[in-house]
Amino acid sequence: MKKFLSLVIFLYSLGLFAQDMKVSPNTKITINTGTQLNFNNSGNLLLKDNPTSAPSFLQDGLVNFSGGGQAKVEQYLTKDKWNLVSSPANNSTIGAYNWMYLYSYNEPDNSWTSLSQPTTLLLNAGQGYFVWPYTSDPNGSNPPSPDLAILTGNLNYQDINLTLSNTASSSNSGWNLVGNPFPCALNWNGDASWNLNNVGAAMYIMDPSSGNYEVWNYNSGGTNPNGGYIAATQGFWVRAADTTGPPASMTIPASQRSHNEAAFYKNSGHLLNNQLLLTLKKEDKADKTIIGFIEDASAGFDGNYDATYLYGSENAHSLYSQILGTKYALNHLPSIEEYPVVPLYFEPRAPGNFTLSADWTESFPDEIPIYLEDVKTGAFLNLREADEYVFIAQLNDEVHRFNIHFTNPLDIENYDALAGVQIYAFDNYINVKLNEDTNGEIRVYNLLGEQIIFTKTKNQNNRIPVSTNNNYLLVKVLTKKGIKTQKIFIK
């Protein structure tokens, strides 16, 4: 978890000369337009890294080397974990990752290519790579990996244009592994300079400690604690907005470079109102998902606000919501009235005790209830009163473990007023018996949160035919005296 401190150096002189220059972690250096930094007599520029902090080098002027000197960028890596990386130098090679396992991704056939020979093979500017450094070689043939990769060459400081792959027939169509090609942070903010052509608004960065992805949508926010900032030499995923095959391209713009401290895991809050952040934890493993409501969002996938779920490493636990068969890391729906219940799915990779916590409940109006339902145990938790739920999970549990209710499923406030209302299923009918003739509404939802029936109450006895069977449904009765919600089973 890297953070900058605030030693800042601006270089304005028309001509500066040096033999060697070492830039320590926590240091920010800006080479302004019109400035030349010249390294003579085989002098080198070294950007040093360590486990907790990194330097930031933002170049607009010229950096020149003579006599064989070059820029060198240290890249500290987490051992025995997958790291997403990118090169900040335009002629560095895969040899920087000797004694590590380095892979590139191929979108057309959803495959991976191991990169080891020749060591002079260039790392492409703006491309992301997976690297696995190890304390002990899992194949037993190589020495332990070094703590650092050292990337050498001329530092990138101008726009990088990328043509992305988008193969309609691919099982993972439209996913592209790209990277920050600069030795400073980069702001994923949707600015026009990104020139996004058929590219979704979300980007994904892997957290090596958990093995899961942190996501940021520049319109709606996300789970990435950096906000939209991408650290220097960081790889990240983007996906085509239309994955059926149209061309996709983007520019990684020099104008969006930054010394911003948020690039190194500064905490952030919700970006919009009506967003709920849910975090699953077990020891050092965590996964996060967001459920939100935006008036002009659509019920299906909306690339402007949503982010589909991307699985992390094989031992990473998974938490996501699901609507209409699509798994979401960021799920924004049009209204609570249409989607009062949102199903939450959980895939454990090991059995044991887990904690599910909720944040940002304050972003909803006070009158909106927010409840967690444990589908396995039948327990309900008012997330406005208690924001953590501890539970036990087994590997063979149903993945649809929870529901999030944005109505009061326990009818606490309206229990007395509607205590006599009966809701039950019989012979493929939903039966609703009221205490008296009254004007009201009956809404029926499936457990995907979709409203499947809407009708007005006709009298005290209401029978509603349903075509589904062997399914649970949620029936909501609304009258002037209150609301009653009940889950029923259609045989």
Specify the pLDDT at position 140: 85
Same domain, 308 and 342: yes
Nearest to 83 by CA among 23, 24, 147: 147
Specify the pLDDT at position 459: 85
In a domain, 99, yes or no: yes
* Domain final residue pick, 243, 267, 291: 267
Specify the pLDDT at position 10: 55
In a domain, 3, yes or no: no
Same domain, 263 and 279: no
345 pLDDT tier (thresholds 50, 70, 90) = very high
CB 341 within 8 A of CB 291: no
Find tokens 């401290």 and name the residue: 261
* Domain final residue pick, 210, 232, 267: 267
* Residues ≥6 apart with Cβ < 8 Å to 297: 304, 305, 306, 332, 333, 334
In a domain, 28, yes or no: no
**C-alpha triplet 396, 402, 408: angle, nearest 5°:** 155
In a domain, 23, yes or no: no
Task: Determine the average pLDDT of the residues in 193-216.
Answer: 96
113: three-class secondary structure by DSSP: strand
Same domain, 326 and 202: no
Same domain, 301 and 229: no
Same domain, 148 and 222: yes
Specify the pLDDT at position 268: 46
DSSP state, residue 199: B
* Domain final residue pick, 239, 267, 295: 267
Specify the pLDDT at position 270: 61
CB 221 within 8 A of CB 192: no
Same domain, 451 and 427: yes
Same domain, 304 and 249: no
Same domain, 255 and 153: yes
Q: Which residue has the higher pLDDT, 420 or 203?
A: 203
Mean pLDDT of the residues in the chain: 89
| Tokens at 402, concatenated | 């929870």
Specify the pLDDT at position 119: 96
Specify the pLDDT at position 392: 95
In a domain, 244, yes or no: yes
Compute CA 102 distance to the chain's CA centroid, rounded to the nearest angstrom.
23
pLDDT in tens, 283-309: 989 999 999 999 999 988 999 999 999
Same domain, 159 and 239: yes
Same domain, 185 and 218: yes
Rounded distance, CA 122 to CA 183, Å?
A: 18
Rounded distance, CA 303 to CA 321, Å?
A: 16
481 pLDDT tier (thresholds 50, 70, 90) = low
* Residues ≥6 apart with Cβ < 8 Å to 117: none
The total of structural domains in the chain comes to: 3
Residue 361 burial class via C-beta count within 10 angstroms: exposed 0-12, middle 13-18, buried 19 and up:
middle
17 pLDDT tier (thresholds 50, 70, 90) = low
Lowest mean pLDDT among 27-41, 70-84, 341-355: 27-41
Nearest to 207 by CA among 152, 111, 281: 281
Task: Determine the average pLDDT of the residues in 228-236.
Answer: 95
Residue 214 has pLDDT above 80, yes or no: yes
In a domain, 301, yes or no: yes
Range of the domain at 467: 422-490
12 pLDDT tier (thresholds 50, 70, 90) = low
484 pLDDT tier (thresholds 50, 70, 90) = confident
Specify the pLDDT at position 104: 98
Specify the pLDDT at position 2: 47
In a domain, 227, yes or no: yes
Same domain, 389 and 370: yes
Query: Residue type at 258?
Result: S
pLDDT above 90 coverage of the chain, percent: 67
pLDDT in tens, 259-287: 975 433 333 456 789 999 999 999 989 99
Task: Determine the average pLDDT of the residues in 6-34.
Answer: 75
Rounded distance, CA 182 to CA 263, Å?
A: 13
Same domain, 257 and 280: no
